């Protein structure tokens, strides 16, 4: 692991932008101690950005909602951007998302505010290094674990590009416009039955799937809050484990879909579970966006809703 103060290659944060954090595949294996998984909110875009620069899929990268500027220092870097659609510039010249881009030492990559979607991933060949906490460099909003803070002036050490795989040739991977620049906010979010589906009658379950739901501004990395028709509330249960994608019905109304930093247990009934690909899509929904659910049955093929891997 490179030391944060070492003389190797680094990204220096010129402008931290909005909601910018370091995220990898998350802190798996500690949920039984109350530690959220964290990790990238939109896992497929995070994976894609890493693959474009030849990293392991779970390497640490930047997650941002835009307004970010970073400068290469201590050597040239190779970067790739995926996720929400935003303007990208290297020293003022426009560059494409969805492909590996060279960042010469001293040059600045600027990431604009998203035009579509809300979360942008900036991966660097070699990955962001530095301190890991419980096996992960991911920032966790719920528990306040922030191994690698992203603030103006911060110097983010970059690891060595993958051993055995040469650093990717810049531009060798063609732009994947449809996937990288415009993550689809899926027409329908695939909703599987949840542990407390049976607490809700058929009419209520139908209502959940037949109504549009609006993403509210209170949404964050802990959960996406949705406003929609009134759903009969239930008393809180004893604490139950939660999964990413769990759809809670809180007594205050609306629905909450658990995102990356969700608590490990909760007391509100979970009516359904949104599957992995649909959570990725929901993680790109902006406040005011409308989403719909479609129920799946246990007998459905589990991959039916997954888009093809890029």
Binding site for another protein (CB under 8 A): 28-35, 37, 133-135, 142-145, 192-197, 238-241, 243, 245-246, 263-266, 270, 273-276, 298, 302-303
Centroid of chain to Cα 297: 26
CB of residue 237 to another protein, shortest distance in Å:
8
Q: Which residue from 190, 176, 189 is spatially nearest to 83, judged by alpha carbons?
A: 176
CB of residue 268 to another protein, shortest distance in Å:
13
Q: Who contacts 159 (Cβ-Cβ below 8 Å, separation ≥6)?
A: 1, 2, 59, 126, 127, 128, 129
CB of residue 115 to another protein, shortest distance in Å:
31
56 vs 243 by CB, closer to another protein: 243
55 vs 264 by CB, closer to another protein: 264
CB of residue 31 to another protein, shortest distance in Å:
4
For residue 228, the 8-state DSSP code is: -
- Do 78 and 53 form a contact (C-beta atoms < 8 A)? yes
For residue 7, the 8-state DSSP code is: S
3-state helix, strand, coil in the chain (%, to 5): 10, 30, 60
28 vs 108 by CB, closer to another protein: 28
CB of residue 253 to another protein, shortest distance in Å:
20
Cα–Cα distances in Å, from 260 out to 12, 31, 61, 140? 26, 12, 15, 8
CB of residue 59 to another protein, shortest distance in Å:
18
65 vs 136 by CB, closer to another protein: 136
How many other CB atoms are there within 10 angstroms of residue 142's CB atom?
A: 18
Cα separation, 249 vs 203, in Å, equals 15
Cα–Cα distances in Å, from 223 out to 156, 218, 220, 283? 28, 9, 6, 9
187 vs 297 by CB, closer to another protein: 297
The three-point CA angle 154-160-162 to 5° equals: 130
CB of residue 222 to another protein, shortest distance in Å:
13
144 vs 153 by CB, closer to another protein: 144
Q: Who contacts 2 (Cβ-Cβ below 8 Å, separation ≥6)?
A: 8, 129, 130, 157, 158, 159, 160
187 vs 238 by CB, closer to another protein: 238
């Amino acid at each position: 692991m490179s030391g944060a103060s070492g003389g190797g290659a680094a990204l220096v944060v010129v402008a931290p932008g909005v909601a910018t954090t370091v995220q990898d595949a998350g802190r798996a294996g500690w949920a039984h101690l109350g530690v959220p998984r964290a990790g990238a909110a939109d896992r497929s875009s995070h994976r894609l950005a890493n693959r474009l620069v030849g990293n392991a899929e779970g390497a640490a990268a930047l997650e941002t909602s835009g307004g970010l500027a970073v400068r290469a220092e201590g050597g040239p870097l190779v970067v790739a951007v995926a996720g929400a659609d935003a303007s990208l510039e290297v020293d003022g010249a426009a560059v494409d998302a969805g492909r590996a881009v060279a960042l010469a030492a001293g040059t600045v990559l600027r990431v604009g505010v998203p035009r579509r979607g809300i979360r942008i991933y900036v991966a660097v060949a070699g990955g962001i290094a530095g301190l890991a906490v419980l096996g992960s460099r991911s920032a966790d909003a719920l528990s306040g674990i922030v191994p690698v803070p992203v603030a103006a002036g911060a110097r983010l050490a970059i690891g060595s590009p993958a051993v055995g795989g040469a650093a990717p040739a810049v531009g060798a991977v063609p732009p994947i416009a449809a996937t990288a620049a415009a993550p689809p906010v899926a027409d329908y979010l695939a909703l599987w039955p949840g542990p407390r589906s049976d607490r809700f009658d058929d009419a209520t379950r139908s209502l959940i799937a037949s109504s549009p739901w609006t993403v509210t501004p209170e949404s964050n990395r802990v959960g996406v809050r949705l406003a929609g028709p009134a759903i009969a509330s239930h008393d809180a249960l004893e604490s139950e484990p939660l999964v990413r994608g769990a759809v809670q019905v809180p007594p205050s109304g609306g629905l909450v879909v658990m995102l990356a930093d969700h608590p490990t247990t909760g007391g509100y009934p979970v009516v359904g579970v949104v599957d992995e690909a649909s959570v990725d899509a929901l993680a790109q929904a902006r406040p005011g966006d409308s989403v719909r659910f479609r129920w799946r049955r246990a007998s459905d093929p589990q991959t039916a809703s997954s888009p093809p891997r890029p």
